[in-house]
Amino acid sequence: MFLKLKKKQIQDCIIIGSGPAGYSAAIYASRADMNPIIFTGSLPGGQLTTTTDVDNYLGFPEGINGNDFMKNCKKQAERFNTKIIHQSVTRVILSNQKGGIHRIFLDNKKCIESRGVIIATGSRPKFLGINKERKFMGLGVSFCATCDGFFHKEKDVAVIGGGDSALEEANYLSKICQKVYLIIRKDYFRASKILQDNISKKNNIHILFDSNVTEIIGNNFLEGIKIFNHKNKTNKTIFISGLFIAIGHIPNTEIFLNELDLNDRGYIMVKKGKTITSKPGVFASGDVQDPDYRQAITSAGTGCMAALDLEKYYLSL
147 is catalytic: yes
Q: How far is CA 267 from CA 14, 26, 277, in A?
A: 20, 22, 11
Burial of 194 (0-12, 13-18, 19+ CB in 10 A): exposed
Per residue, the 3-state secondary structure of the chain, as one string, reads CCCCCCCCCEECCEEECCCHHHHHHHHHHHHCCCCCEEECCCCCCHHHHHCCEECCCCCCCCCEEHHHHHHHHHHHHHHCCCEEECCCEEEEECCCCCCCCEEEEECCCCEEEECCEEECCCEEECCCCCCCCCCCECCCEECCHHHHHHHHCCCEEEEECCCHHHHHHHHHHHCCCCEEEEECCCCCCCCCHHHHHHHHCCCCEEEECCEEEEEEECCCCCCEEEEEECCCCEEEEEECCEEEECCCEEECCHHHCCCCCECCCCCECCCCCCCECCCCCEEECHHHHCCCCCCHHHHHHHHHHHHHHHHHHHHCC
CB 290 within 8 A of CB 300: no
Catalytic residue among 147, 287, 290, 309: 147
55 is catalytic: no
Q: Which amino acid would we find at residue 180?
A: V
Catalytic residue among 13, 73, 144, 304: 144
CB 219 within 8 A of CB 211: no
Catalytic residue among 13, 53, 73, 148: 148
Residues belonging to the active site? 144, 147-148
